[in-house]
Structure 1
Amino acid sequence: MNETSTLWQQTLAQFRDGTGSTLPTPGSGAAATVAACLGVALILKGLKLSQQRQPVTRHADLITVGERLQEALSTCADADVQAFANYLEADRQASGASAEGERRQQALNLAAANAVQIPIATAQLCLEALDLAVTATPLTVEPLRSDTLAGGRLVHGALGAVLTTVDADRNGLKSGDAREAARQMRDKLQQQADQRLAQLSATPVPPAMG
């Protein structure tokens, strides 16, 4: 993917087939981020329809938050693809002990750091989306609450999937301190996400309507 293209110009079938192909991108990070976007979309569906049926003051504010998160996550999906492509290119070019080789190694280190920072930033957005789901669920009319809960669960799963890329990519960081900081951050984010999921799971799901 070049700098002017975006995953969001593809059809769903193209994205599915590209993810399942032998090409390096899109990979797990982008796929997980797209899943998070869909989870937020389900939360937004519940909020928007609830606003039409039984409007309350907070609906508009929560919808604004959801739309901001959806846009930010969409950007992260593209950034993940670009970051991994940049890392592969930097890894291909990094070799030798010459000044040029040192410059290329610096570029590789920077690409490795970026490859870790993007999924961490994505996971932080997913955590915000889980907070949105927790807040939105009681403000969503009962027939639509299952969509909101499903959206929150989808976001939680996506967050966990994104963090698996941190586990893999942090090994490319040059500094041991940086690797440990990335590990601690991913553990903290997963713990916080699990707490939010527990809150969501405590919300009763109304019977399905025929």
Structure 2
Amino acid sequence: MNETSTLWQQTLAQFRDGTGSTLPTPGSGAAATVAACLGVALVLKGLKLSQQRQPVTRHAELITLGERLQEALSTCADADVQAFANYLEADRQASGAGAEGERRQQALNLAAANAVQIPIATAQLCLEALDLAVIATPLTVEPLRSDTLAGGRLVHGALGAVLTTVDADRNGLKSGDAREAARQMRDKLQQQADQRLAQLSATPVPPAMG
């Protein structure tokens, strides 16, 4: 993907087929991030319709926050594709001798670090989105609360999927300390996400209308 292209210009079918193709990108990180965006969209749906039906003061604030998170996650999906492409290119060119070989190795190390940093940043945004879902659920009218809860659970699943890329990509980090720091961060984010999911799961879902 070049600097001017974006996943968000593709149709849903194109993205699905590209993800399932033999091309290296989009991969698991981008797919998980897109899923997180859809989860936030469901939370926003509940908030926006609730604002129309039974407005409260916090609706506008939470909608603004949700739209900011959705935009940031959208950017992360593109960044994930670019980071992995950059890593593959740096790895392909990593061999060499002398100063040029050292420069190429430094480029590979930087690309590896970026490939870990982006999914961690994405997971942090997902955690913010889970916080939004927790706050939004009681402020969402009951007939729409199932959408909000589904959105939060979708974000939680996406966060876990994003963190699996950290597990894989941290092995490319040169420093053992950096690998351990990435592991600790991913474990912390997963633990925090699980706590938010428990809060969401404690929210009763209204019975379906027959």
User: TM exceeds 0.5?
Assistant: yes
Q: Could you state the TM-score of these two structures normalised by the residue count of structure 1?
A: 0.99
| Contact 2:33/2:76, CA 8 A, preserved across alignment | yes
Q: Displacement, 1:96? A: 2.5
- Larger CA deviation: 96-105 vs 137-146: 96-105
Q: Displacement, 1:98? A: 1.8
Name structure 1 gaps, 5 residues minimum: none
- Write the distance in 1 (CA, Å) between the matches of 2:5 and 2:159: 25
Q: 1:34 matched to which residue of 2?
A: 34
Query: Which SS does the other structure have where 1:74 is aligned?
Result: helix
Q: Displacement, 1:208? A: 1.1
| Contact 2:87/2:115, CA 8 A, preserved across alignment | yes
Query: Which SS does the other structure have where 2:204 is aligned?
Result: coil
- Write the distance in 1 (CA, Å) between the matches of 2:44 and 2:208: 19
Q: Displacement, 1:10? A: 0.1
- Larger CA deviation: 94-103 vs 185-194: 94-103
- Write the distance in 2 (CA, Å) between the matches of 1:58 and 1:209: 27
The Cα offsets for residues 43-76 of structure 1, whole Å up to 9 and x where unpaired, read as 0000000000000000000000000000000000
- Write the distance in 1 (CA, Å) between the matches of 2:103 and 2:55: 58
The Cα offsets for residues 175-198 of structure 1, whole Å up to 9 and x where unpaired, read as 000000000000000000000000
Q: Displacement, 1:199? A: 0.2
Q: 2:49 matched to which residue of 1?
A: 49
- Write the distance in 1 (CA, Å) between the matches of 2:115 and 2:58: 36
- Write the distance in 1 (CA, Å) between the matches of 2:89 and 2:4: 18
| Contact 2:33/2:73, CA 8 A, preserved across alignment | yes
Q: 2:74 matched to which residue of 1?
A: 74
Q: 1:112 matched to which residue of 2?
A: 112
The Cα offsets for residues 130-149 of structure 1, whole Å up to 9 and x where unpaired, read as 00000000000000000000
Q: Could you state the TM-score of these two structures normalised by the residue count of structure 2?
A: 0.99
The Cα offsets for residues 103-149 of structure 1, whole Å up to 9 and x where unpaired, read as 00000000000000000000000000000000000000000000000
| Contact 2:96/2:104, CA 8 A, preserved across alignment | no
Query: Which SS does the other structure have where 1:94 is aligned?
Result: coil
The Cα offsets for residues 2-47 of structure 1, whole Å up to 9 and x where unpaired, read as 0100000000000000000000000000000000000000000000
Q: Displacement, 1:97? A: 2.8
Query: Which SS does the other structure have where 2:21 is aligned?
Result: coil
Q: 2:12 matched to which residue of 1?
A: 12
The Cα offsets for residues 79-109 of structure 1, whole Å up to 9 and x where unpaired, read as 0000000000000000023211110000000
| Contact 2:46/2:141, CA 8 A, preserved across alignment | yes
Q: Displacement, 1:209? A: 1.9
Query: Which SS does the other structure have where 2:64 is aligned?
Result: helix
Displaced runs of 4 or more, over 6 A: none
- Write the distance in 1 (CA, Å) between the matches of 2:175 and 2:60: 45
Query: Which SS does the other structure have where 1:18 is aligned?
Result: helix
The Cα offsets for residues 149-183 of structure 1, whole Å up to 9 and x where unpaired, read as 00000000000000000000000000000000000
